[in-house]
Structure 1
Amino acid sequence: MATPVEPVEGQVVAFRRFAVRGSIFVTVLLLGCAALLSVPAPANDFLQAIQDKERVLSAAPSPRTVLVGGSSTAFGFNSAALAAATGRSVVNMGVHAGLGLDFMLRSVEDSLRAGDLVIVSPEYELFDKSLRNNTVLYQILPYMQSPDTYLHSVAERVEYRLQLRVQRMQRIVAHLMKRMVGRTTAPDMYRRASFSALGDFWLPDSTRSVLDTNRYIGPPKPAEVPDESTVRRLSTFADKASQRGASVVLLYPPLVSPAYARDSANIAGLQQALEKTLRPAVTIAGTPQDFVWPAEYFFDTEYHLNPRGRDRRTSQLIQFLQSQRLANP
């Protein structure tokens, strides 16, 4: 009786199909690994500017004026004009409000020297207990020299390392999509290269840009009384600065007038509480109303000043420092 041939031939065909599919899978896997290894590290990320700011802070000769805050600080000063008027080196450390007040203070407090003047100007919502947005914090920590310094628990360290993997995969997907499409998108203005050598965020074309308050009025909606942990953190920072021979000034942030009108009662309560709890360790510069201006001074949010607003705020700070004999060392 003859041996059946069809089952054997079927097995051969099935094996060939398996081999082809396996080869395709291995090829795709190898290409994927190659893509993973070749994904370039971000070089113009907005948050990556913190590396430049840390370097400038370290190199700037004393006495220095150190500007601390979120993006309202990044947009809010002409540091070159401030340096010329005060005779001090100026470093603008402002990046993003979502990093939280603790991050902002911690990033400079160990670098302070005798004679330094620290201008702390947090956005209003940072006086509440929500001191930071971990999503933003985890995005900037890879650029910091000691990221664990900013993590307060084992749970946060685990979460941060998981987030690093997510960020890595997001970059990979974006990189692969860009290679498949074959073109890059137009550069976003929010990038590392938009910061000046002293840390100011410069928008060459924004002189013509004015905030449309009919379309956009966002935060702050601050708490009427600052969170106790926030006041405690500011007081601790002022004590550490004093021990190093540095002085601390609290400067209220700029705010577009419709946003202030909406939240004026809470801001007034916040002002009263801050003056009661922070003085005399912290000098408070003026009042919130001193920095409430119409939309023509703002760019794209209730906090971001255009060049006209930036110059006005810088001039007001210079006048205050001169009146308090804090300008020239």
Structure 2
Amino acid sequence: MLIWVAGMIALALHTPTTTLVKNSLLMAQIQKDSLMKNTPSPRIIFVGGSSISFGLDSKMIKDSLHLNPVNTGVEATLGLKYMLRNALRYIKPGDIIVVCAEYNQFYNKFMDGQYELLPIIFEVSPDTKNLLDARQYCSLLTYAPSYIASKLNPLSYWVRFDNNATNVYGNKAFNAYGDVYLHWTQPSEQVSPYGAITGNLDKDTFTELRQFEAELKQRNARLLISFPPYQQRAYDNSPNQIALIAQKLKDNHFELLGSPQSYLFPDSMLFNTSYHLNRQGVTRWTNQTISNLKKALR
């Protein structure tokens, strides 16, 4: 039985990339890594999930700050731990790194990654398997059966996938800086607020950030931490949990850009989730980020 199971796992991990993954936003990880590798200095690198990929207009940042921006945001479920460790592979002296993590990253080991991290390390960027630690691999065991089943399902390879010029979750949704931009001209959807953040604060998230900052200092790079753009109504469901994150970041003496309350948005500035902004919201949050960066860099 064990030999059969091992054989199925080996077969799944050596089958081609599925159509679903090949055309999804996960493939943007290749573009993001190329940007981190090849974008010339002086650089400002934004690290986070889809809140930054959907939230920033990097050209505005370049025009205002005269820094070359790299938006590395793909998907929050890759986990902050993977995002930080992957970014370290490309850091150059003089880089400014802005970490903007969704609030879930600080609770319940969310930073270890979820289902989407499996296709990343086995199909999209297999050279990053060694970035994961034992705790991450243990967390991913929960998602392994579903992932293996998808690899062995013929429909995953034959299914029709809408990857046209309007699909904001396709691999063609990103511009040259790494921003999702297709939704800038699309109508917004009605956004239901996320519920309350539950569970325990993950103290290891702050440890990971401290280690990341120490590595940056050794490479003559600088860390700044921002709070993500967030729906006002979603914030109202978790003010204490978010306040605790902000306080712990202050206690660890990180250099912060703004506050959680300064990046709250009405429904009229949202696109399709509590973290995703429409064109109006993108412009506002980018201008706020530029203003706070000018203060910090001064």
| TM class, shorter-length | 0.7 to 0.9
Counterpart in the other structure of 2:226: 251
Contact 1:71 1:97 survives alignment (8 Å): yes
Residue 321 of structure 1 deviates from its aligned partner by: 1.4
Give the TM-score normalised by the residue count of structure 2.
Answer: 0.84
Map 1:188-199 → 2, pairs under 5 A? 188-199=167-178
Q: Counterpart in 1 of 2:157? A: 175
Between 125-134 and 84-93, report the one with greater CA deviation.
Answer: 125-134
- Structure 1 residues 54 and 271: CA distance shift in structure 2, 3 A: same
Shift of 1:145: 4.8
Alignment partner of 1:218 is 2:194 = yes
- What CA distance in whole angstroms lies between the structure 2 residues aligned with 1:46 and 1:93? 12
Amino acid at match of 2:193: I
Classify 1:294/1:246 alpha carbon distance in 2 versus 1 (closer, same or farther; 3 Å). Answer: same
Q: Per-residue deviation at 1:272?
A: 1.5
Letter in 1 for 2:175: S
Question: Are residues 1:57 and 2:39 paired?
Answer: no
Partner of residue 5, structure 2: none
Residue 325 (structure 1) shift: 2.7
- 2:293 maps to what in 1? 321
Matches within 5 A, 1:1-329: 43-128=22-107, 129-141=109-121, 142-153=123-134, 156=137, 165-170=148-153, 172-176=154-158, 178=159, 184=160, 186-187=162-163, 188-204=167-183, 206-210=185-189, 212-213=190-191, 216-219=192-195, 221=197, 226-277=201-252, 279=253, 282-325=254-297
- Residue 244 of structure 1, CA deviation: 0.4
CA contact (8 A) 1:113 1:246 kept: yes
**Unmatched 5+ stretches in structure 1:** 1-35, 179-183
Q: Secondary structure at the match of 1:112?
A: coil
SS at structure 1 position matched to 2:197 = coil
Deviation at 1:273, TM superposition (A): 1.9
Shift of 1:67: 0.5
How many residue pairs get aligned? The number is 277
CA contact (8 A) 1:100 1:133 kept: yes
User: What per-residue deviation string (whole Å, max 9, x for no partner) do you get for residues 55-90 of structure 1?
Assistant: 111110012100000110111111111111111111
The offset of 1:164, in angstroms, is 6.3
Q: Name the CA shift for 1:37/1:64 in 2 (closer, same or farther; >3 Å).
A: closer
Cα deviation 1:180-234 (Å, max 9, x = unaligned)? xxxx454443111001111001124655315x24xx11256166x8422111000
Q: CA deviation at 1:261?
A: 1.3
1:17-40 residue CA offsets vs partner (Å, 9 max, x unmatched): xxxxxxxxxxxxxxxxxxx88987
Q: Partner amino acid for 1:312?
A: R
Distance change >3 Å, CA 206–CA 261, structure 1 → 2? farther
Q: Which has the larger radius of gyration?
A: 1
Name stretches of at least 5 consecutive residues in structure 2 with no aligned partner: 1-14
